[in-house]
Amino acid sequence: MKHTYQTYLFALLFCTMSALLCLSCGGSHDAEQAAARVQQARTLILQGNLEGAKQELDSVHILFRQQVDARREAKSLQDTIARLEAERNAHYADSVLQLLLPQVDPLLKHFRYDKDDKYEDNGHYVSRLLRTEQNSERCFLQAYVGDNRITTLKSYYCGKAQLCQTKLEISAMNSDVHDSRTGREHHFSPTAEEADGFHSILTIEDQDAIDLLAFITIHQRERLRVRLHGNTTTGKEVSPYVYFLSDNDKKALVETLQLATLFHDINQMEQVLNNAQRQIERLNRKDLK
């Protein structure tokens, strides 16, 4: 009985020592694997393969949770990558802005800046060819770009017959294609002293306005027909009013799209630059701690 008890103790001690040895070897092996992945990440960073380096460092955190030293090094390298990416983004955005900004002033010579401080929070740039006061007695399209970077297209109707606009349709006669949009409508009737007739304004904004201006730009060399759909104030549908865009109108609308696109690209690059600079400043403050 005593011999059996001693055998049991010996077996238990052997199993315990074996388990500790296995854990020790396993921990050592994990440390080597984690260190190897960190070193591989360093190599990839030097090669400019930041995405590959990030994958290696992520694997260190996922596969080797107990390797505190390796994970600390991985986190430091991740900050290095974040700084490199921010510096690269800042350089790219700044270089693009250097190309875009000189294009603004020559294009703005074709526009006038309007803002009614009493009623408007944002001003807007409108083509000198499409100013409202110069075109109030005809049907025309006016487009402008606001300080808030919103692009607006307005369809102005002026006629003897009442027409509350519900939809604007533009057709390219040579290509037999068209595009149409709806928007917000405002109308008013002539007073007894006015002789120019009924007025209606259909306002189209944002992407719908951009799409129509893009359609005009693509087909600017063709004859473009504008068809105004609408009804009376009582809801009775009336025959569409049709007219054709003049060359000056097409020129002004195409330039408005160019300005809208330019402002959009500049705004986008400024955001990239600002975000990158904030990221660099955050990492710099972190290094000082």
- Distance (Å, rounded) from C-alpha 216 to C-alpha 168? 13
The residue ranking higher by pLDDT, 240 or 23, is: 240
Question: Is residue 203 within 8 Å of residue 152, measured between CB atoms?
Answer: yes
Kindly report the average pLDDT of the chain as a whole number.
87
Q: Where are the domains of the chain?
A: 2-90, 110-263
Exposure of 165 by Cβ count < 10 A (0-12 exposed, 13-18 middle, 19+ buried)?
buried
The two structure tokens encoding residue 137: 């007695």
- pLDDT beyond 70 at 6: no
Task: Give the pLDDT confidence score for residue 212 in this predicted structure.
Answer: 97
pTM: 0.78
Task: Give the pLDDT confidence score for residue 148 in this predicted structure.
Answer: 86
The count of other CB atoms within 10 Å of the CB of residue 183 is: 19
pLDDT tens digits, one per residue of 204-217: 999 999 999 999 99
Q: Which residue has the tokens 């190599």?
A: 43
The two structure tokens encoding residue 263: 């402002």
Nearest to 204 by CA among 169, 173, 254: 169
In this structure, are strands 124-127 and 177-181 parallel, antiparallel, or unpaired?
unpaired
The residue ranking higher by pLDDT, 14 or 244, is: 244
